[in-house]
């Protein structure tokens, strides 16, 4: 055990995702079991610069495992992008006598920690917190399972009204650079079409389907927000090939980020929170804790990059069911 680690600072950064509070609980419980103090840093890097610290206790966090969002709040920090901002953050950490950091966020958060290494020698471990599931180093990221379940519940309800009126519905889900939410929610709801940023020829097949659509039944198309066409242009092209269709657009938006985390996200958060503490005590640094084949793993921050393509298997399934 690294005896130099006596006081861990932990924060959430970037977009919030369900399961972050579970990760805080897992980290706090693991730290307390080793007699290590753990302090929360509110509002991410921005709060670090301002010295916005709060003591964390596992007992209090235990009661928040079921809550979405993050008790520590989150923010993006332009000040931390500057050397002056990072120096100010380091000064606050030194004043608080924090000697290790755990960050819950996405690749932007981990890139921030890499930049911080230029002046800060504190060991750092990351936990993947993003609903998009677009990071290497973990099969699933915190919040993805909850977001997919939220999207599925919404699309199921949309199908009820779509079938009552024999309408086409375009349902936009989150996923700026990744189609994981769209594929999982689309396949899981029996959608008639799925459009994602990683694939371009699916739109051509969709137009052929719509061209021969005669309003005899509902038609559901799930569109990832990062799809280069955009849901508005998709609607426009559909009306061009079949002017008589009754078409509606629904954007699910930030509802996918909220809500009580699923059992999978709660367990993922607890496991990765505890694993992050154990990694620090083992002398690890500048790496993200994740699960690969349900086994804990560490991936260096330099290798944690956004996945801009879904797996070949999932893309193959999508093409199969889009025909």
Give catalytic residue positions: 132
- Compute CA 73 distance to the chain's CA centroid, rounded to the nearest angstrom: 15
What's the rounded Cα separation, in Å, for the pair 166 and 196? 24
Within a domain: residue 315? no
Which tokens go with 317?
A: 């399934």
Residue 154 lies in a domain: yes
Domain match, 19 and 136 both: yes
Domain boundary among 203, 232, 257: 257
> Are 224 and 295 part of one and the same domain?
no
Q: Are residues 265 and 252 in the same domain?
A: no
Rounded Cα gap, residues 223 and 252, in angstroms: 11
Which phi and psi (to 5°) does residue 75 adopt? Answer: -160, 160
Residues 66 and 139 reside in one and the same domain: yes
Question: Quick check: is 319 in a domain?
Answer: no
Asked if 251 and 155 count as a contact pair (C-beta separation under 8 A), the reply is no
- Contact yes or no for 156/164 (Cβ under 8 A): no
Q: Which residues, 6 or more positions from 240, have their beta carbon under 8 angstroms from its beta carbon?
A: none
Q: Check residue 308 and give its pLDDT.
A: 63
Task: At 47, list the tokens.
Answer: 């709060």
pLDDT of residue 317: 85
Total count of domains within the chain: 2
Domain membership of residue 321 (yes or no) is no
Task: Output the pLDDT for position 216.
Answer: 75
In terms of Cα–Cα distance, which of 92, 15, 57 is closest to 258? 15
Residues 166 and 93 in one domain: no
Are 137 and 236 contained in the same domain? no
Q: How far apart are CA 159 and CA 212, in angstroms?
A: 20
Do residue 139 and residue 159 come from a single domain? Answer: no
In a domain, 96, yes or no: yes
Cβ neighbours for 311, distance < 8 A, ≥ 6 positions apart? none
How high is the pLDDT of residue 37?
97
Q: What is the DSSP string of 9-62?
A: EEEE-SS--TTHHHHHHHHHHHHHHTT-EEEEETTHHHHHHHT-EEE--HHHHH
Q: Is residue 322 part of a domain?
A: no
Q: 3-class DSSP state for residue 200? A: coil
> Three-state DSSP class for 172?
strand
Q: Is the dihedral of CA 150, 156, 162, 164 positive or negative?
A: negative
Do 132 and 273 share a structural domain? yes
The pLDDT of residue 199 is 67
Q: Which of 202, 234, 257 is the last residue of a domain?
A: 257
pLDDT of 230: 82
| Residue where a domain terminates, one of 257, 272, 292 | 257
Examine residue 278 and state whether it is found in any structural domain, yes or no.
yes
Question: Is residue 154 domain-shared with residue 241, that is, in the same domain?
Answer: yes
Write out the residue range of the structural domain in which residue 215 sits: 148-257
Q: Give pLDDT < 50 ranges for the chain.
A: none
Residue 138 sits in a domain whose CATH number is 3.40.50.450
In a domain, 231, yes or no: yes
For residues 139 and 152, state if they share a domain: no
263: its two tokens = 């059992």
- CATH number of the domain to which 168 belongs: 3.40.50.460
Looking at the fold, whether 174 and 295 belong to one and the same domain comes out as no
Give the whole-angstrom CA distance, residue 289 versus residue 268: 11
Q: What is the pLDDT of residue 2?
A: 66
Do residues 35 and 108 share a domain? yes
């Amino acid at each position: 055990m690294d005896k130099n680690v006596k006081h861990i600072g932990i924060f959430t950064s970037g977009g919030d995702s369900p399961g972050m509070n579970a990760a805080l609980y897992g980290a706090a419980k693991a730290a307390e079991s080793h007699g290590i103090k753990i302090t929360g840093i509110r509002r991410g890097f921005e709060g670090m610069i301002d010295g916005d610290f709060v003591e964390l206790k596992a007992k209090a966090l235990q009661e928040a495992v079921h809550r979405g969002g993050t008790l520590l709040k989150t923010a993006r920090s332009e000040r931390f992008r500057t050397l002056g901002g990072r120096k100010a953050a380091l000064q606050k950490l030194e004043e608080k006598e924090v000697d290790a950091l755990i960050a819950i966020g996405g690749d932007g958060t981990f890139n921030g920690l890499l930049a911080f290494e230029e002046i800060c020698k504190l060991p750092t471990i990351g936990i993947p917190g993003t609903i998009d599931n677009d990071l290497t180093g973990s099969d699933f990221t915190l919040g993805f399972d909850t977001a997919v379940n939220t999207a599925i519940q919404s699309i199921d309800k949309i199908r009820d009204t779509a079938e009552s009126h024999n309408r086409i519905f375009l349902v936009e889900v989150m996923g700026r650079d990744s189609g994981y939410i769209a594929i999982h929610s689309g396949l899981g709801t029996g959608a008639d079409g799925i459009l994602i940023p990683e694939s371009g020829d699916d739109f051509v097949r969709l137009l052929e389907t719509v061209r021969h659509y005669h309003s005899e039944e509902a038609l559901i198309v799930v569109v990832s927000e990062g799809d280069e066409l955009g849901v508005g242009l998709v609607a426009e092209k559909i009306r061009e090939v079949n002017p008589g269709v009754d078409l509606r657009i629904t954007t699910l938006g930030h509802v996918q980020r909220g809500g009580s985390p699923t059992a999978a996200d709660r367990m993922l958060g607890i496991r990765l929170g505890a694993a992050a503490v154990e990694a620090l005590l083992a002398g690890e640094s500048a790496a993200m804790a994740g699960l690969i084949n349900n086994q804990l793993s560490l991936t260096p921050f330099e290798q944690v990059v956004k996945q801009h393509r879904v797996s070949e298997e999932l893309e193959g399934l999508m093409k199969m069911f889009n025909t």
